[in-house]
Structure 1
Amino acid sequence: MASQPRTGTVKAKVVLLGEGAVGKTSIVLRYVENRFNDRHDSTLQASFLQRTLNIGPKRIQLAIWDTAGQERFHALGPIYYRDAQGAIVVYDITDVDSFTKAKNWIKELRRIVGEDIAVCIVGNKIDLEKNRTVLTTEAESYAASVGATHFSTSAKQNKGIQELFLDLSKRIIDSGLSAQQPKNDKLFAAQTTGRRSIIVEDDFSQPAETLVSTDGGSKCC
């Protein structure tokens, strides 16, 4: 069967929000680079990665911002999620306080961005199910009440990650939010330090992906 012609690339800015140590960086690194690091390294301010998905006849380029969760960086939050088309708010299923604070992130996100943003709430670390303190039913109910979808993930075991980003991408496309192009990505990219920008081309009609680094090298994964 002949593939459908592409209709051009749309761009969407996606931000990851949540407290420190809930696994935001692990989620995005698993998604973009398919790797996991057991050592916890705190994100300083924000890091920036990209991934392009071909979904049917449409192509969407995700500019993914992994923000710091430490209290001292909270004031910087609005700088990064202003103009975003998608947000992923992460909590740790073994830490009920991280879920409570995730609700605060949602409130602030809605206050700054409003309703014109696709939101996913993510319960991470389901590999530690025996230590769970946040009920899935409670989290799903809350997500529905704020117009978000809920996903359970494990960056360590690579569970739920692909489904999370694919769902968010489809919702951004279907809602037309991607037509609102991010305004300040180049400025933000210039401000980030210590992390490179990764671009992955992900075509669901083809079995392989290509990982392209900023140094011009590439590899098939």
Structure 2
Amino acid sequence: MSATADPTTTAPFPADPDAKPIQVKLVLLGEAAVGKSSLVSRFVQNKFMDNREPTIGAAFTTQKCRLEDKVIKFEIWDTAGQERFYSLAPMYYRNAHAAIVVFDVTRASSLQKARTWVKELQRQGNLNMVIALVGNKLDLVQPSTAAVAAGEEEGDDETPTATESAPAASPGPQGGDATEADDGDADSEPEFIPRQVTTEEGEAYAAEAGLLYFEASAKTGEGVQSIFNEIAKKLPTDQILSQSRAGRAGGLNSGSVNVDLVNESGFGRSNPGQTGSNAASGCAC
């Protein structure tokens, strides 16, 4: 399955105080600086930080989603991407029900690293773990969908006439038009970075490896919600419930269900053995 943008937007709602959440462990893996923490921040807090410090070890946060008549509590482990923390990863993905493996669409090397993580998860993770492959940083290679749509809607009203399209040219210092010297102004069109991983390449690998596939921008928010929505829809909640009661981690493979977001957030470094009640958590409405 692949997705490049949210097909629908789910509205926040208050959690049913009587509904006991189903705890689902989810881990993020990927090379350093691909935007793992930014994706989590966008999903949980709807925020983006330009100069985020690298994750050390791992960071923990939670977020709730409603699946029809059930409430799922994602317990999200955001792991460090630096090579020196590689040996710690099994401690975080052990017993995880789902994983998000992130790469940067402007760096082909990050997809190769993502492939390594996928192989490790499929070899050592839970047998039927839901794994989503996410190509992040779409904002660097194309305008966001929302920005393009807004520009098209306003284009007819703001298009200048032929006589208004540019100020009259005046001689420049070297005999050229003075307007030619303004090409570097801050108002000029942004330059996008060449894409090194195409959508087709990502989708082909995901199909071959049996992964969900998404492309997103943590900066603009494009595609982020659908990643977690689609993962939630794949979780076999009844199986997870029964296995958690027996003290075991669960598998998956279930049909589609409707997902609504319940906002709950908290960031902090924590021991991977802790669960939501013991690790950092909070509320962001």
What's the CA shift for 1:188? 2.1
For residues 106-121 of structure 1, what are the structure 2 equivalents within 5 Å? 106-121=118-133
Instruction: Give the aligned partner of residue 272 of structure 2.
Output: 188
Out of 145, 148, 156, which is 2:208 matched to? 145
* Structure with higher RCO (Cα < 8 A, 6+ apart): 2
SS at match of 2:117: helix
User: Matches of 2:64 and 2:137 in 1, distance apart?
Assistant: 26
Instruction: In structure 2, list runs of 5 or more residues that go unmatched.
Output: 1-15, 142-191, 250-269
The question of whether the paired residues in 1 share the 8 Å contact of 2:94 and 2:126 is answered with no
Pick closer, same or farther for the CA change 1:49–1:178 going to 2, 3 Å.
farther
1:53 aligns with 2:65: yes
What's the CA shift for 1:52? 1.0
For residues 1-221 of structure 1, what are the structure 2 equivalents within 5 Å? 8-129=20-141, 130-131=192-193, 132-173=195-236, 176-177=239-240, 179-181=242-244, 187-188=271-272, 197-200=280-283, 211=284, 220=285
User: Matches of 2:96 and 2:221 in 1, distance apart?
Assistant: 25
- CA-to-partner distance for each residue in 1:93-136, whole Å, 9 max, x for gaps? 00000001100000111111143200100000000114210011
TM-score, normalised to structure 1's length? 0.80
Across the two proteins, how many residue pairs are aligned to each other? 193
Pick closer, same or farther for the CA change 1:180–1:101 going to 2, 3 Å.
farther
What's the CA shift for 1:45? 0.4
SS at match of 2:95: coil
User: Matches of 2:243 and 2:96 in 1, distance apart?
Assistant: 9
TM-score, normalised to structure 2's length? 0.62
User: Matches of 1:188 and 1:32 in 2, distance apart?
Assistant: 19
SS at match of 2:39: helix
User: Matches of 1:65 and 1:143 in 2, distance apart?
Assistant: 22
User: Matches of 2:28 and 2:232 in 1, distance apart?
Assistant: 14
User: Matches of 2:73 and 2:32 in 1, distance apart?
Assistant: 27
Instruction: In structure 1, list runs of 5 or more residues that go unmatched.
Output: 191-195, 201-210, 212-219
Task: Identify, as 1 or 2, the structure richer in helix.
Answer: 1
What's the CA shift for 1:47? 0.5
User: Matches of 2:205 and 2:104 in 1, distance apart?
Assistant: 15
The question of whether the paired residues in 2 share the 8 Å contact of 1:17 and 1:69 is answered with yes
Quick one: which amino acid aligns to residue 272 of structure 2?
Answer: F
User: Matches of 1:100 and 1:179 in 2, distance apart?
Assistant: 37
Instruction: Give the aligned partner of residue 207 of structure 1.
Output: none
What's the CA shift for 1:172? 1.4
The question of whether the paired residues in 1 share the 8 Å contact of 2:95 and 2:126 is answered with no
SS at match of 2:63: strand
What's the CA shift for 1:179? 4.7
User: Matches of 1:162 and 1:179 in 2, distance apart?
Assistant: 28
What's the CA shift for 1:198? 3.2
Quick one: which amino acid aligns to residue 143 of structure 1?
Answer: A
The question of whether the paired residues in 2 share the 8 Å contact of 1:117 and 1:177 is answered with no
The question of whether the paired residues in 2 share the 8 Å contact of 1:85 and 1:180 is answered with no
User: Matches of 1:177 and 1:86 in 2, distance apart?
Assistant: 12
The question of whether the paired residues in 2 share the 8 Å contact of 1:125 and 1:156 is answered with yes
The question of whether the paired residues in 1 share the 8 Å contact of 2:97 and 2:126 is answered with no
SS at match of 1:188: coil
